[in-house]
A and B are shown apart, each in its own frame.
Chain A
């Protein structure tokens, strides 16, 4: 491509970006998007019952009535920072006496530890006088600490050493896999995690493609609708015009995603201040059977993710560019978007349902077939369903597809700039493309002979 063909692309880019961000609706949209991102995690955490483990407590004195034979060590309770200065008084007082004490002493709490022999469970009930200096949360947190102290008392009574205690507390990591994978030593994630990962990734990719499609349609037909195209063509080449616009749309899309990412980061930092984030992970693991620890997530994966997203964007943007160039009026975009959405839906649905087959052949096919590859390859890789060589091959296929589509988009954009008819039918489109290519060849031949 001649450099002279690209002259003016920077000016087109700057102007498109400048006009985009001057639009009040865009600023309002981005502000709302940012606010949603900032508030997303705290609101979700609150809704899911997340709470902040405070280092403060309103309880200054504890009346402890231990009805079990296991002696609870006061130091086990005080080992927690918030109970460092807690006054602990062991008591045999009955419920009425405890009630009287708590009514008089606003900063006191009482705990009764008992054993239900018949049903074989321990019961710890913590009480406080009235909501004020001591809160319900303070009592609940103390209850958790007492549970831990009782556990320590049990272990001590059994003369369990520190090493033995560590062993007892160790978790088992269950792994289910086919014998072929077991023999290959492949660490496979469970099917639920694979399905969850596919759905989440595919949803993100679908959103990215749909958002970019709208922008690209709008910008690839803007000059036609405003009837400015002929005036522009004496100032800038179609290639430079298209390049400038695609770069601008790329900035809008990835700028928007960046804004969401910043919002979510702020959201995460805020949430850490007001609630306990570990509850989130627990919810994900328990409810969705999603185990992030089982996936290949590291710095390299992040780089791969960025490459995958850029390739998806390049393919989707080129496809949208080709179809958007065929539109002469706003109504034509309905037909154009139908084609793009159909293409994306094939990939999206195929890739979403592929993990349910639990088949190596299906994973390989969906990872390599260009339409589904943009959705499937990355989640399959991080869930251990395909190896690095297959992922690299998938990325090469995607790269070649993107390059071919980009080239075609450039040709179609130039060819259709002056076209004012309805959305062309496939046969008509191919005929136009053939004629355009023949004319280009004729012109190239003329230029060569001129140069000679």
Chain B
């Protein structure tokens, strides 16, 4: 059971754009594909979905090749679009019909998702004056609202595997929360999700496993919690009521940023942090907070991508 990508490879001319990418999801959850611009994330997704011919490698779903027939896939592409001059309802029904959803069931699902995504007014515009309301067309919506319709398109078939390429980019905070809540629901329903995003905080909120790509190559892969654990707790956040800089520097700790009497520092490990804490307590310095944290995904990403840049 599950989803498996093995040795995925693609090149254009002499340029390798995806270099033997492999990963596996044995059970439902969220897998993150991260990378710099042009690292090969979208190309990998396109090969996974058979939109691009692979130069090597395979994609399996439940032990067999992943095709339109073997897997019910929902996909929110990074390149967003709708037929600009067609009505929204027509487009939604068209996509549902292509996925084999009967018309009555499709209407039910459309109404559910329209309500869930607060898009009912675009599908059923209210009457103004005596004339019957005109159905809305895609080019009459804002980008954010078009994104809601596209998200509906990807969810209409009730997919087993949902691939979201930059799902939250371009959304306002209210709609970001709305999308996040739906993603959480899909996770709870036991779906397989693959997410690609530049917003590390978002990925961190959802994903269990990840692959970081840089210039077509895999630079880091594994379970997010384990990766973080392997880095140890090296981020120290201190908030005090007085200047601490001399004491922190005296302990051999690097201050990354400081605002007022708040400091973000990098320590070699818990021993170094504890030594500083003992010293501050011994000197009777009042502390508001003293927190030792694991590195964030953002930091891991920057570090890993930076390393490969240096190597190259």
Contacts and interface: CB of A to CB of B under 8 A. Distances in A.
B75 to A, nearest CB: 4
Contact of B75 (A4, A226, A234): A234
B81 A228 contact: yes
Contacts of A81: none
B98 A231 contact: no
Nearest to A450: B65
B58 A450 contact: yes
Interface in B1-44: 12-13
Contact of A231 (B52, B68, B154): B154
Contacts of A11: 94, 97-98
Contacts of B54: 439, 442-443, 446
Q: Which 4 A-B pairs have the closest CB atoms?
A: A227-B81, A439-B53, A230-B77, A235-B98
Interface residues of A, number: 35
B68 A436 contact: no
A15 B51 contact: no
A442 B75 CA distance: 25
A238 to B, nearest CB: 9
A166 B86 CA distance: 69
B83 A222 contact: yes
Contacts of A344: none
B224 interface: no
Interface in B75-107: 75-77, 79-86, 90, 94-95, 97-99
Given A11-B97, A19-B90, A235-B68, A230 B79 contact: yes
Interface of A is mostly: helix
B21 to A, nearest CB: 15
A8 B98 contact: yes
Interface string B42-64: 00001001111111101000001
The B interface, classified by DSSP as helix, strand, loop or mixed, is loop
A436 B75 contact: no
B150 A4 contact: no
A312 B12 CA distance: 36
A294 to B, nearest CB: 51
B236 interface: no
A230 B75 contact: yes
Interface of A: 4, 7-8, 11-12, 15, 18-19, 23, 222, 226-237, 417-418, 431, 435-436, 438-440, 442-443, 446-447, 450
Contacts of B295: none
Pick the most buried of A237, A440, A443: most chain B CB atoms within 10 A of its CB: A443
A442 B9 CA distance: 11
A305 B49 CA distance: 44
A442 B56 contact: yes
B98 A227 contact: no
Contacts of A230: 46, 49, 51, 75, 77, 79
Contacts of A435: 12-13
B69 interface: yes
Interface in B142-188: 150, 153-154, 157
B74 A234 contact: yes
B232 to A, nearest CB: 40
Question: Which of A19, A230, A236, A417: most chain B Cβ within 10 A?
Answer: A230
A436 to B, nearest CB: 6
B73 interface: yes
Contact of B73 (A229, A234, A436, A447): A234
15 contacts: A11-B98, A19-B90, A226-B83, A227-B80, A230-B46, A231-B76, A231-B77, A231-B81, A231-B150, A235-B68, A417-B51, A418-B46, A439-B54, A442-B53, A442-B55
A417 B58 CA distance: 21
B94 A15 contact: yes
A224 B188 CA distance: 34
Given A15-B90, A19-B86, A232-B95, 15 more contacts: A19-B90, A227-B79, A230-B77, A231-B75, A233-B50, A234-B49, A234-B74, A234-B75, A235-B68, A235-B99, A418-B52, A435-B12, A438-B55, A442-B54, A442-B55
Contacts of A7: 68-69
A103 B58 CA distance: 103
